Chain A
């Protein structure tokens, strides 16, 4: 179900060995390994306290900079190390994902994480803007597709109209 990263490498024609060699060189560690949770469009490896991500498409560094301005310490510093024939980025190791089983059984840790999540979400409210990043048509198209799949489009058609009125004024 979850991507392992290897299907991505096969799709884009990069060898695992090459990725690990790059990771060893960038992290200075001889013990490098794929992280447990991989994305659909990248292959990520950890070595020591450094994480290396390999991908064909560049990361949107502008988006990361924007996120850093708003969320500061919650965004890991990302550096581009290579652009050809594929992109290589490094970030410091940030911790383990909150979906890990050992995390899910620790209620005290969950409580702390939830408080931090609240702080994170509240931070975004400190920097409101006046225009949405998506066009209304994109949102509408996407939601209509969702609703068509659900067979409930009539029930929320008014919501679309209301959204149009609200965001196109």
Chain B
């Protein structure tokens, strides 16, 4: 979970890489509570589009982590546990993603992968440290040290 956020400090050409990202329509709250599926896992609907807007691709990629692990709230702390199958699950996701994007994105894949790590990090920060989320967490800042450690 930490590798994409590390891009903040390890990537020397962030601006150039971000410039490659397409500005797209981004669902602003792509949590698993807003993703509906049938019993087989086929996504049947995505709800709560209120906070959607045009942003650099990747701001809502934090959603991927919800599918690759489990978040528990225990003793006043959020604990994220990755599934053992995470590598396989994640590989399936990216394989499909890169098959489906436009050809010009496929050609710039290496650059875009770096940029997406940055964008995903920004999205995570925005979601995890935003005021709305703090209200949601009842003012708990327990997640902050985790993000801080990642940076």
Which residues does A use to contact B, with CB under 8 Å?
1, 37, 39-41, 59-60, 63-64, 66-67, 70-71, 74-76, 91, 94-99, 103-104, 106-134, 142-143, 145-147, 149-152, 155-156, 158-159, 162-163, 165-166
Q: B47 and A76: CB pair below 8 A?
A: yes
Q: Which residue of B lies closest to A130 (CB)?
A: B23
> For chain A, what secondary structure do more than half of its interface residues adopt (helix, strand, loop), or is it mixed?
helix
Whole-angstrom CA separation of A116 from B90 in the bound complex: 13
Interface size class of B (residues with CB under 8 A): 35 or more
Given A67-B49, A113-B41: A97 in contact with B73 (beta carbons within 8 A): no
Does any Cβ of A come within 8 Å of B40's Cβ? yes
A103 — which chain B residues lie within 8 A by C-beta? 37, 41
Our pick among A60, A75, A109, A123 for the contact of B41 (Cβ within 8 Å) is: A109
A-B contact pairs, 26 of them (CB 8 A): A1-B136, A67-B27, A75-B49, A95-B36, A95-B38, A96-B37, A99-B66, A112-B41, A113-B35, A115-B92, A115-B93, A116-B42, A117-B35, A118-B97, A122-B97, A122-B101, A125-B22, A125-B24, A128-B22, A143-B122, A146-B129, A150-B147, A155-B8, A163-B18, A165-B15, A166-B19
Our pick among B23, B33, B94 for the contact of A128 (Cβ within 8 Å) is: B23
Q: B57 and A124: CB pair below 8 A?
A: yes
Which residues does B use to contact A, with CB under 8 Å?
8-9, 14-15, 18-19, 22-27, 31-50, 52-57, 60-61, 63-64, 66-67, 70, 73, 83, 85, 89-90, 92-97, 99-102, 105, 118, 122, 125-126, 128-131, 136-138, 141, 144, 147-148, 151
Apart from A109-B37, A117-B67, A133-B53: 10 A-B pairs, beta carbons within 8 A: A60-B50, A94-B44, A95-B43, A107-B89, A129-B25, A132-B54, A134-B54, A156-B8, A158-B14, A166-B15
Q: Which residue of A lies closest to B29 (CB)?
A: A39
A146 — which chain B residues lie within 8 A by C-beta? 125-126, 128-130
Given A109-B39, A113-B41, A120-B46: A129 in contact with B23 (beta carbons within 8 A): yes
Whole-angstrom CA separation of A111 from B102 in the bound complex: 23
B139 to chain A, nearest CB (A): 12
B44 — which chain A residues lie within 8 A by C-beta? 94-95
The 7 closest A-B pairs by CB, nearest first: A94-B45, A109-B41, A162-B15, A112-B41, A133-B53, A122-B100, A146-B129
Q: Which residue of B lies closest to A68 (CB)?
A: B49
Whole-angstrom CA separation of A113 from B102 in the bound complex: 21
